[in-house]
């Protein structure tokens, strides 16, 4: 009879492990600086993604990412951020 009470616990654990794995994978993929070619000026730029937003969007199923920092800012702060398409 006591084993029946453990079924919901095992179910929750079984569901949370793949979710936690997926979230941690999105975190690892989004952190750290990365080199991209700025499409506006065709020069190298270093960008850093907003990790918290990237993980949140991953959980919601939205592939949209935001740039937290760019080496071309503040001169080019108003760019269209098309370099995100090339940021792997």
Per-residue pLDDT of the chain (88 residues), as tens digits, is 577 888 888 888 888 988 899 889 989 988 889 898 888 888 888 989 888 988 888 888 887 788 888 888 888 778 877 777 766 5
Cα pseudo-dihedral 51, 55, 57, 58, rounded to 10: 130
Q: Model's pTM, two decimal places?
A: 0.66
Q: Domain residues of the chain, as ranges?
A: 2-85
pLDDT of 33 = 92
pLDDT of 86 = 62
The edge-to-edge listing of strands for the beta sheet with 33-38 is 33-38, 43-49, 67-70
Helix (H, G, I), strand (E, B) or coil at 44: strand
């Amino acid at each position: 009879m006591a084993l029946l009470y453990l079924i919901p616990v095992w179910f929750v654990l079984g569901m949370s492990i793949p979710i936690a794995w997926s979230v941690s994978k999105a975190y690892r993929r989004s952190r750290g600086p990365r080199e991209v070619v700025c499409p506006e000026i065709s020069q190298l730029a270093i960008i850093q993604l907003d990790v918290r937003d990237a993980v949140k969007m991953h959980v919601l199923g939205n592939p949209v990412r935001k740039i937290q920092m760019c080496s071309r800012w503040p001169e080019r702060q108003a760019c269209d951020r098309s370099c995100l398409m090339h940021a792997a």
